[in-house]
Amino acid sequence: MRAVLVVLLTLAACGDDIRGNISINATDAPAEWKPALTELVKLTDYSGLSLDTDNGDFKINLVVDPTIPLEGYRIDANGTDGYAVAVNDLLGAQYGVSAALENLGFRFRHPYDTYAPRQPADQGATLGVVHKPETRERGMQLHTLHPIEGYFAFWEPSPGNTSDAHRIIDWLVKNRGNYLHWVALDDIMKDADHHAKWKVFTRELIDYAHMRGIRVGQNIQLFGSSNLQLAFDLSDKEDEPIADSIAARLPLITDGLPWDEIHLSFGEFFGEAPQVVVDGINEFARQAKLLAPQAELHGYIHVGATQRVDYMGENLIYYFLLKFADPTVIPDVHTVMYYNLFDDAGGAYQHDMFDEHRQYLIDRICTDKSNVYTPESGYWVAFDNSVPTYLPLYVYSRWRDIDGLAKAGADCGGKRLDNHLLFSTGWEWGFWLHDWANLRDVYEHPAQPHDLIAEAYAPDIGAKAAAVIGELMDEQKYALMDHRLAGYISSRDVIIDAGRKLDPPIISQPDRIQFDAIANGSADVDTFANGVLADLKVHADTVALLEKKLLAIGVPDSRWGREIRDGFKVDRLRAQFMYALYAATVASARGGNPDADYKRAQELIAEAQRVVTSRHGDLHDTHRRRLLDSPNDDPNVLPNKTYYQYGYLYHADFLCYWHRELTQVGNILGKTTDAPAGCLFGADRPEK
């Protein structure tokens, strides 16, 4: 049958270079499914796809089968020209149709950029298998406190942004998700007219998501005292009773907006007294149940190893105070960056392991209490895509979490994680892969993370190239996590450095030995040279070999292929650059000549700029330079409502962090007297 399908579709796509037509037949499905299926077809970037027509060279027939589990599907052969997709509900129907399209070579990789094959052909997928979700709720938080794609789509009212939000919801559906929430900002409490426009805009997004079968939620913050960004918070006046403050502000979020969930956050680094926290959560819960009785309530358990309190006879991390509050507020257990619950945490937020978070979550799984895990697929500030780096390592860590939690649940009677909520911060530089893979992973967990990478790239990139991406993932796990090189491949801005000098220090991302510590002798030069510096050299050389291997195999000259090539290249350049800077600093500290290494760093940054300029001219985002620019540099760029007046790729666009590091070493070596860039407020770009 497959051979016949290939021939039919190939013939249909040849001759006049017309793609094969694909029709979806849903005439026997419930009428209420039709709007969602219509949207699925409309938002698939393929002109030959239609619903309930008879002009398909290839046909996908929906069959209602009550034996199929909810949100499940089964794909069978249907004669010689199509598939029969058996489903039992609206989401299952959309998942099944999407899977059938994937069997023909489609990939729904980026919300704004579908991979559609030129000649759809059966990919040899196994038919007759019932697919069903292994995790009940599978979704993501768009971290709209950051100037990412999701911020524009879900927070700034406009027809264009509404359209983008619909595409993101559609992409979530096609990748087997069923829940989405985003973070509220405080601008809506400052202007009644603006709030009214936001409310109309947001209600349309909620209604659209519900029409597609997607539950939606909003994240808000409790205390302004720990609100380091511009989040919508419920209490920031010390002289106002918290009940009065919540009563004044919470209706701005709840009135007329039928959220399915409301998530409460507690900021980071700073907090209130334990009893104030518990009382505040309880008061939020009391009022939320009156204002939004349909909404499930959640609270965030953030990280911070040294932010501990004593309460009710326990010494615990501040955020675990949630467990003493109203038990109907479900804990969302968080981890950060590409770290996970089971491996070394590298010193992130001063954690060597996230073992307390792991045990708390496993205990809830094993005692059948509501449980949510919310890790990250991108961190942004000075750490990953803002540097920039390409990090399939995220695929490993998110897979590792699901694998470890599944095994822990099996050990306590076959229990499973109930809810997985991915914290997402941007999709360029291949970061869409992290979200794509995780959504698939929590629907059906594969044997290895490499399987997810292979599936993501299967139609066009090829198995050999996908395998090399998997090798890069393994190398990043070995070097950045196991050998703790993360702090050297990521970077630092002026605030991160300032926080490190406080007493006690504020540390977010993994720390590293600074250049000046080597220069002034406060760090042992020989120990550093024989340890970190040697490991950096090995990592740089290994990534260089993997890049050569990838180039020898070859990838298509498409946006997807170029993104992979640029990713490998920028990873190799970043490792070589950091090695050269530290090698120059070590040579100087030992009384040697640092000039060759310093010159090499200058050459590497110039090469990296060419790579970044090329990549940023070839983004998946279709809105020109909104992710790259700042109103501080260009009066044509409009301000946004976040704390950061620039797109999330702004500092990556001109390699601000690299130049900051080059200048720091240049100061030590006497090559320059320039002040290092702060790389924080969006005013560091050199004149164009």
Q: How far apart are CA 93 and CA 99, in angstroms?
A: 10
For residue 217, the cross-strand partners are: 181, 261
125 and 139 in a single domain? The answer is no
Asked whether residue 350 is domain-assigned, the answer is no
320 lies in some domain:
yes
Among residues 334, 362, 390, which one ends one of the domains? 334
3-state secondary structure of 332: strand
Q: Would you say residue 609 lies in a domain?
A: yes
Q: How many CB atoms lie under 10 A from the CB of residue 267?
A: 21
* Torsion on CA atoms 461, 164, 172, 644, rounded to nearest 10: 90
Q: Answer left, alpha or beta for residue 292, where phi above 0 means left and psi between -120 and 50 means alpha.
A: beta
Please write the tens of the pLDDT for every residue from 270-282: 888 999 999 999 9
Instruction: State whether 126 and 199 are in the same domain.
Output: no
Q: Quote the CA–CA distance of 395 and 381 in Å, as a whole number.
A: 20
Q: Cα separations (Å) of 144 from 35, 69, 83, 147, 188?
A: 28, 34, 39, 7, 14
Report pLDDT for 688. 54
| Helix H or strand E segment including 60 | strand 58-64
610 in the Ramachandran plot: left (φ > 0), alpha (ψ -120 to 50) or beta?
A: alpha
Q: Apex CA 391: angle with CA 390 and CA 397, to 5°?
A: 170
Residue with tokens 């104030």: 276
Q: What residue ranges of the chain have pLDDT lower than 70?
A: 1-19, 80, 687-688
H or E element, residue 58: strand 58-64
Taking Cα atoms as reference points, which of 229, 228, 181 lies closest to residue 205?
Answer: 181
Residue with tokens 């190893």: 305
Query: Same domain for 154 and 296?
Result: yes
Residue at which a domain ends, from 334, 365, 397: 334
- Burial class for 64, CB neighbours closer than 10 Å (0-12, 13-18, 19+): middle
Q: Where residue 178 sits, what CATH number does that domain have? A: 3.20.20.80
Q: Are residues 112 and 164 in the same domain?
A: no
The reply to whether 485 falls in a domain is yes
Inside any domain, residue 316: yes
Assign 128 to helix, strand or coil: coil
Which of 319, 334, 349 is where one domain is finished?
334
Q: What is the pLDDT of residue 7?
A: 41
C-beta contacts of 675-681 below 8 A and 24+ residues apart: 678/493, 678/494, 679/382, 679/491, 679/493, 679/494, 679/651, 680/493, 680/494, 680/495, 681/632, 681/645
Q: pLDDT value at position 18? A: 44
| DSSP string over 254-297 | HTT---SEEEEE--SS----HHHHHHHHHHHHHHHHHH-TTSEE
Tell me how many domains the chain contains: 3
81: amino acid identity, one letter: D
Three-state DSSP state, 345:
coil
The first and second tokens of residue 89, run together, are 């509900």
Claim to verify: residue 119 and residue 184 sit in the same structural domain = no
Q: Tell me the angle at which helices 534-553 and 463-476 cross, rounded to the nearest 10 degrees.
A: 170
Q: Answer whether 382's CB lies under 8 Å from 499's CB.
A: no
Residue 167 sits in the same domain as residue 303: yes
Rg over alpha carbons for the chain, rounded to the nearest Å, is 26
The pLDDT score that the predictor gives to residue 254 is: 98
Q: Let me know how long the chain is.
A: 688
Cα torsion angle, 281, 283, 284, 285, sign = positive
Query: Does residue 140 share a domain with residue 123?
Result: no
Distance of CA 467 to the CA centre of its chain: 22
Specify if 111 maps to a domain.
Answer: yes
Please indicate, yes or no, whether residues 490 and 633 belong to a single structural domain of this protein.
Answer: yes
Considering the domain architecture, whether residues 76 and 187 belong to the same structural domain is answered as no
Nearest to residue 221, comparing CAs of 244, 194, 249? 249
Residue 42 sits in the same domain as residue 115: yes
Distance of alpha carbon 377 from alpha carbon 148, whole angstroms: 13
| Residue ranges with strand state E in 65-164 | 73-77, 82-87, 107-110, 113-115, 130-131, 137-142
> Is 315 inside any structural domain?
yes
For residue 486, tell me if it sits in a domain.
Answer: yes
3-state secondary structure of 77: strand
Q: What's the N-to-C CA distance of the chain in angstroms?
A: 58
The domain that holds 98 is classified in CATH as 3.30.379.10
Rounded-to-integer distance, Cα 23 and Cα 82, Å: 9
Residue 64: its H or E element: strand 58-64
127 and 138, same domain (yes or no): no
Element (H, E) at 223: strand 215-223
Q: Which of 544, 148, 567 is nearest to 392 (CA)?
A: 567
What is the domain extent for residue 103? 2-131
Residues 218 and 156 in one domain: yes
Residues 6+ apart with CB under 8 A from 646: 147, 629, 630, 631, 632, 682
